[in-house]
Amino acid sequence: MDLNPENPGFYDKEALKEETLRVFDICNSCRLCFKYCGSFPYLFDALDRKDQDVKRLSDDEISKVEELCFQCKICYFECPYHPPHKYMLDFPRLILRLRASRARSEGVKLNDTLLGATETLGKIGSLFPFAMNLANRSRVLRNLSGALTGIHPDRKLPEFRFITFERWWNRRERERENDVSSGHGHAEKKAALFYTCTVNYNRPETGIAAVKVLEHNGVRVAAPRQRCCGMPRLDGGDVAAALEQVRENTMNLIPYVNQGYDIIGLGPTCTYMLKFEYRELFPCEETEKIAERTFDICEYLMKLDAAGGLKRDFRKGAGMVAYHLPCHLKAQNIGYKSRDLLKLLPDTKVRLIVRCSIMDGTWGLKREHYEESMRRAGRLFEDFNSENIEIAASDCQLASLQIDQGTGRMPRHPVEIFCEAYGI
């Protein structure tokens, strides 16, 4: 399979059709992934109706398989045939190619363009947070905006903040420059935050907590200029726009890597992009270096702990915590680092919940997927409705939004809980 979208083969329609039928045929003979998303049951049912002959699938049926995939990536890592197996089966990459091919021939849909413009929406929302948040709570205005964005009017949306993480960081840096006694000092451990759009515009407290926890543990923190990671653009098949963001982020992050900084991600989707997708979308020495030096925040803190560099001067515990493992963190194949981090706290018990939130970026926001998203997340909601849970936790802001919608219980990022346990 041609994985580089800048190569002509990525968009070749005949080659793509051949690859699609090849992958579908292998998946049909295995059927291990029947439970992960709607794509596989739909595909298998369609093939059952056609005597297992993939060549009889219509273009509409192939498009339906593409539409039902929400890019959780779990099928790739569970697949016994993914690279380096000789079959080189990569179902999520195939879906990306199908979406990119459709977007190139038909144009990117308006709602996908709007949902992919996370930076623009965030900047507008943070300038006028009261008005934007009020509009997002209005049923009438949501029905009107939904006609453009395609977002279901019942879908809860994240609130915008005037004090974004960037504004907090820039003000803090100015204050530290004016205070000669504070100084940045010398630190052997250095971390450059990839703080993500949702943290910047909607949950700056997560970024602030990460900075405080890292500095408490003797890590020098930087916040490089950055763009959206590119995943929302990929969701809509707009590979060209995603590549622009990938290139700019690579240019902004590589000087820090070359200066000995580790890249610390505060959102599992963005961290996944930096570790895996950047190398495929923009193959070069720089993206390889960035991938090797990128860590999820809790993965990094557990790395410090393994080296004996994580402080244990906690002032309190967290009680009973229900921790949700996001799919894009599971797909990084790093274990349960956030759970393990929380288990270091005194007087704390952690219940691990490994279920997809069925939110998955822009997929669960859309009008046509909202009801299925909520229905399929039912067991996840049941897990969080347990009476003995004191704190809900998740690393993913969009998964947290889904859990809040289904339970009325908004999860906190594990690093926020850890920061509070330090009492800083």
- 3-state SS of 313-371? CCCCCCEEEEEECCHHHHCCCCCCHHHHHHCCCCCEEEEEECCCCCCCCCHHHECCCHH
Q: What is the CA radius of gyration of the chain?
A: 22
pLDDT tens digits for range 357-400 = 998 778 889 999 999 999 999 999 999 998 789 999 999 999 99
Q: Which residues make Cβ contacts (< 8 Å) with residue 133, sequence separation at least 6?
A: 125, 159, 160
Second CATH level (architecture) for the domain 314-422: 3-Layer(aba) Sandwich (3.40)
Listing from the earlier edge strand, what are the strands of the sheet with 189-194? 219-222, 189-194, 262-265, 294-296
Q: Which residues make Cβ contacts (< 8 Å) with residue 162, sequence separation at least 6?
A: 126, 127, 129
Burial of 315 (0-12, 13-18, 19+ CB in 10 A): exposed
Please give the residue that has the higher pLDDT: either 77 or 326.
326
User: What count of Cα atoms within 13 Å lies in the side-chain half-sphere of residue 314?
Assistant: 18
Whether the CB-CB separation of 73 and 40 falls below 8 Å is answered with no
pLDDT at 328 over 70: yes
pLDDT at 176 over 70: yes
pLDDT at 230 over 80: yes
The segment(s) of the chain belonging to CATH 3.40.50 are: 314-422
CA–CA dist 39, 190 (Å, integer): 42
**Residue 67, SS3 per DSSP:** helix
Band of the pLDDT at 108, cuts 50, 70, 90?
Answer: very high
Whole-number pLDDT of residue 182: 54
Whole-number pLDDT of residue 424: 87
pLDDT at 2 over 70: no
CA–CA dist 236, 242 (Å, integer): 10
Whole-number pLDDT of residue 6: 74
Whether the CB-CB separation of 61 and 39 falls below 8 Å is answered with no
Cis peptide preceding 283, ω within 30 of 0: no
Work out the average pLDDT over 253-262.
Answer: 98
**Residue 194, SS3 per DSSP:** strand
- Alpha helix locations (H) across 151-203? 165-178, 197-201
One-letter identity of residue 320: M
pLDDT at 7 over 90: no
Whether the CB-CB separation of 287 and 254 falls below 8 Å is answered with no
Whole-number pLDDT of residue 341: 98
Whether the CB-CB separation of 275 and 332 falls below 8 Å is answered with yes
Whole-number pLDDT of residue 275: 97
Listing from the earlier edge strand, what are the strands of the sheet with 348-353? 348-353, 319-324, 391-394
**Residue 128, SS3 per DSSP:** coil
